[in-house]
Structure 1
Amino acid sequence: MSKIVEDCRDPPYVNLTLPPAFGSAYVGETFSCTLCANNELAANSDRQVTSVRIGAEMQAPSGTTTLEVSPTDQQAAKVDPGGSLQKIVRFELREEGNHTLAVNLSYSETTVSNDQSASSGRVRTFRKLYQFVARPCLGVRTKVSNLPSGNSDDTESQAARYVLEAQLENFADGTIILETATLNPKLAFKSTSLNWDAKELDVHHSDKPKMAPRDVLQIAFLIEQQKDGPGKEVTKDGRTLLGNLDIQWMSVMGERGFLSTGWLTTKKK
């Protein structure tokens, strides 16, 4: 973490505080951080702090994103001595690697005379950087197997059937609870879950799969070509596009995560 002050001859009278640590950050989860700008002037000071503004941006491996600071109202605020201005920033972690939260603070410092008139003032700005690493939370390995047709009729026998197996591994430091695992098939197919939600029963929170660190869980889906449906989408090397897998989980502290795979295909012919 670093701090750059515009004018270093006098100490700044507003201190920007970031959390010293927040634990691990995982791809698929939402980074959330509270920023506090504290007015450290004494109550009897002849100075005032006004027009306090907080801005933030996230520097990720793929580029820099300007973050929305909430609440968005009263961006330019007056902070009384001993008071604090608090803002919250959120960012969806979508890629692994180093991330840097850059926070900019600006405010007006005014000297007030005995007759309560402002005699002088200046604008101060400084910047703080907070670096962390986003790591994968859930590892996914998939395998597609062909199934014979379930009907001997000449027309029906042309309908393709597959089983998609996925192996999930918890890379996080803590236990996670799998909320949903959904296969979104291409238009030519329909999918049937073979997992804990297969019977479409009311699954309570306590009944959902729990994965401790390094635990592995197998899930599977039946994929069937729809009768009278659109044609299959095939890649240039002869692979059939089946769909993509969406997985949602929650940590024991209530933090939610989401992962979506790329297009899953059959084996190359």
Structure 2
Amino acid sequence: MDSTHLLALKVMRLTRPSFVTETPLVTFDPRDLFAQSAPALSPQKCAANQRDIAEGAGHQKINLTDMLSLPQNFGNIYLGETFSAYVSVHNDCNFLCRDIIVKADLQTNSSKVAMTAGSAEPVSELPPDRSIDEVLTHEVKELGPHILVCTVSYTSHSSEKLYFKKYFKFQVQRPLDVKTDFRTTENDEVFLEAKIQNITSGPIFLERVFLEPSPNFQLLDTPSTDREDDSGVRVPECLREQETRQFLYRLRPAASGDTQPQQPSVGGASVTVGKLDITWRSQMGQRARLQTSPLCTALPPAEDIRVTVEEAPAVVRLDSLFRIVCRVTNNSTRSVNLRLSTSSRQQSLEQSQAAMQFCGKVARSLQELRCGESASLSLELLPLVPGLQSVSGLVLTDTLLNRSYEFDELTQVLVHP
């Protein structure tokens, strides 16, 4: 208690206990020369030690005892955890104190949060040797220094208005290192690789790593954070100190109604894909949650005319016709009239020994495509060489500007003999 005040304020952080570890028993094989030469480590004792460890419980095999240890210091606080503190105001004097108000604010570099419920109703009386106790909780959402400011005001037995403050400073650290990498395919699909590294001082258990897509994108594949143990039960993935896990997400531009998926942004511009929502538990089961800032990537420059494959077989037979369905999209700012043909290189290959040959009426005019419109295109091909072959050599010519667009390696098929 402060010598000038009648009340004493104590603040303690509430954290979960930890298991007590013990030094493992040193055992030797009874046939070991060292075990035979050491009187204290006779073969009989070595065999008994090995039997005790083999028959012990699972926690004994990893040096954990049945005892729990209470925290001996303030410990580390990580972003996304819930900070809990026990606040106690005790009347250490022999007099009755009145109108006690306890307030607690958490200050950061950019904000100030009231952790108490405003303390609108003061405690009317606090007799000697009695206390006012309260548990404060706050989800930590900022990095850097935090200051817990506790203010106590009261009226003494002599009707004197008194108050005092205490400051408790702590540092909030980063628990995870999240790195992302983007890849964009020719059909506008976006692959997001997220690397999550545990940079805390202990192991964590990942419960959920979810990608919340932006309105521009639709999430197609979501990886799992669970794994199967030896008994086939799904358990959360354990991430030890400095370990890294990788997660892969597949997205595509969101569709508008029944129309085809649209580009969420012009090529070369930065577009928001979404943000990661990560939930984990500490080794003692304390839950924490972290959400990244919006993840952005730059889309590749869009071609004026785009061709994507919608239907194509994965495996075909040699010398057997097969069909692929493509979609031709006009990404330019004007209407176009297109004519379909094959490249001169493809025609020269067909005269010699081409691996894949177009069949039927290939050279033809397509319908007029306005800005943003698309049309379906069906092609028949004949495989002539076994193996993994590419469909290439398609040419679309803008008859107005006399500009040609050549498309190679539209897709690949496996040709069986």
**Are residues 1:144 and 2:196 paired?**
no
Task: State the one-letter code of the partner of 2:167.
Answer: L
| Residue 117 (structure 1) aligns with | none
Deviation at 1:67, TM superposition (A): 2.5
Give TM-score, length-normalised by structure 2.
0.51
> How do residues 251-262 of structure 1 correspond to structure 2 at under 5 angstroms?
251-262=282-293
Distance, in Å, in 2 between the alignment partners of 1:65 and 1:219 is: 35
Distance, in Å, in 2 between the alignment partners of 1:174 and 1:235 is: 45
Task: State the one-letter code of the partner of 1:49.
Answer: C
Structure 1: which 4+ aligned runs deviate by more than 6 Å? Answer: none
Give the helix-richer structure, 1 or 2: 2
Post-superposition CA distance 1:126-145 (Å, at most 9, x none): 10000000001111000111
- C-alpha contact 2:206 2:225 (8 A) present in aligned 1: no
Distance, in Å, in 2 between the alignment partners of 1:49 and 1:62 is: 36
| Residue 96 (structure 1) aligns with | 143
* Count of aligned pairs: 234
| Residue 278 (structure 2) aligns with | 247
| Residue 14 (structure 1) aligns with | 7
| Residue 216 (structure 2) aligns with | 188
> How do residues 1-269 of structure 1 correspond to structure 2 at under 5 angstroms?
11-19=4-12, 21-41=73-93, 45=94, 47-69=95-117, 74-110=121-157, 120-149=158-187, 160-196=188-224, 207-228=235-256, 231-234=262-265, 238-267=269-298, 269=300
The 1:205/1:32 distance shift into structure 2, 3 A limit, reads farther
Distance, in Å, in 1 between the alignment partners of 2:89 and 2:193 is: 50
SS in 1 for 2:270: coil
- C-alpha contact 2:211 2:275 (8 A) present in aligned 1: yes
Post-superposition CA distance 1:158-216 (Å, at most 9, x none): xx2121110001111122111111111122321134422699xxxx9961111112111
Larger radius of gyration: 2
Task: State the one-letter code of the partner of 1:129.
Answer: Y
Gaps of 5+ in 2: 14-72, 301-417
Task: State the one-letter code of the partner of 1:27.
Answer: L
- C-alpha contact 2:8 2:89 (8 A) present in aligned 1: yes
SS in 1 for 2:241: coil
Higher RCO (Cα < 8 Å, 6 or more apart)? 1
- C-alpha contact 1:234 1:241 (8 A) present in aligned 2: no
Deviation at 1:235, TM superposition (A): 8.0
Task: State the one-letter code of the partner of 1:50.
Answer: R
**RMSD of aligned C-alpha atoms?**
2.8
Distance, in Å, in 1 between the alignment partners of 2:91 and 2:155 is: 12
Task: State the one-letter code of the partner of 1:98.
Answer: P
Distance, in Å, in 2 between the alignment partners of 1:266 and 1:135 is: 27
- C-alpha contact 1:250 1:257 (8 A) present in aligned 2: yes
The 1:205/1:19 distance shift into structure 2, 3 A limit, reads farther
- C-alpha contact 1:103 1:128 (8 A) present in aligned 2: yes
Task: State the one-letter code of the partner of 2:92.
Answer: E
Task: State the one-letter code of the partner of 2:127.
Answer: D
Percent identity among equivalent residues? 24
Deviation at 1:91, TM superposition (A): 2.4
